[in-house]
Amino acid sequence: MEKQLFIQGILESASKEAETIKATASKEAEVIFANAEEEKAAIEKREKKKLDDFALKVQARKSIDARMKKNEILLDAKQKAMDGVVKATIAKVIKMPSNEYSKWLGALIVSEAKDNDAVVLAKADKIRLPKDFIESLAKSSKINIKPSNETHEYSGGVLLCGATYDKNLTLENLFTHLAEKNESEISKVLFN
């Protein structure tokens, strides 16, 4: 019997020891699980922040791209409108009665020509203007200019060919430069 009591004491002691080990292991497991949950939450928070930051960067990029595309479309529309203004202005000048056009062109030539310049007319102007247009302009303005045998392919206006440099006074060049110079004012009229 003593042996049985001894064995029973060992079993009870072992059982208590097992319960203590089990309770300790359970507490340690709870701590490990709690730490794992905290770490998981921290990782999820970090990853969510990274994802949110990435989404903000993508959104900012998309916003910039959209603004650039909008500005590109607006600039293209403005350029087309400006080209339309230039073409309409050229058309108005071309439709001027011949006597008004010759006065306007004569005043332009006189204001820009230097002695010994050769005046190159547009093909259409060579037909439209009087044959002695340049000679009579030279006589009345007292500027020594002479007509060129060549013509240019623009709508109208002239090329002044001098000894050191040439001047492009064609309608396309004049009104394109005028439109560029006054672009902000023209844009206000067209787009506001």
- pLDDT tens digits, residue range 98-133? 999 999 999 999 999 999 999 999 999 999 999 999
User: For the chain, give me the number of helices (H) and strands (E)?
Assistant: 6, 4
At 101, list the tokens. 């056009």
* CA distances (Å), origin 120, targets 28, 33, 57, 74, 169: 101, 94, 59, 38, 10
The residue with greater pLDDT, 12 or 93, is: 93
Compute the average pLDDT of residues 40-62: 86
For 17, other C-beta atoms within 10 Å of its C-beta total: 10
**Is the per-residue pLDDT at 40 higher than 70?**
yes
Within 8 A by CB and 6+ apart from 91, the residues are none
Compute the average pLDDT of residues 155-166: 93
Q: Taking the alpha carbons of 130, 136, 141, 145 in that order, is the dihedral positive or negative?
A: positive
pLDDT category at 1 given cuts 50, 70, 90 is low
Compute the average pLDDT of residues 81-93: 88
Residues 181 and 99: beta-carbon distance below 8 Å? no
* CA distances (Å), origin 94, targets 7, 111, 157, 190: 126, 20, 10, 23
The residue with greater pLDDT, 33 or 142, is: 142
pLDDT of residue 153: 95
Instruction: Detail the DSSP E strand segments found in the chain.
Output: 118-122, 146-152, 157-161, 166-170
**Alpha carbons 110 and 115: distance in angstroms, whole number:** 10
SS percent in the chain: helix, strand, coil, step 5: 75, 10, 15
Q: Which helix (H) or strand (E) holds 190?
A: helix 183-191
Given phi > 0 = left and psi -120 to 50 = alpha, else beta, which region is 159? Answer: beta
Compute the average pLDDT of residues 161-188: 85
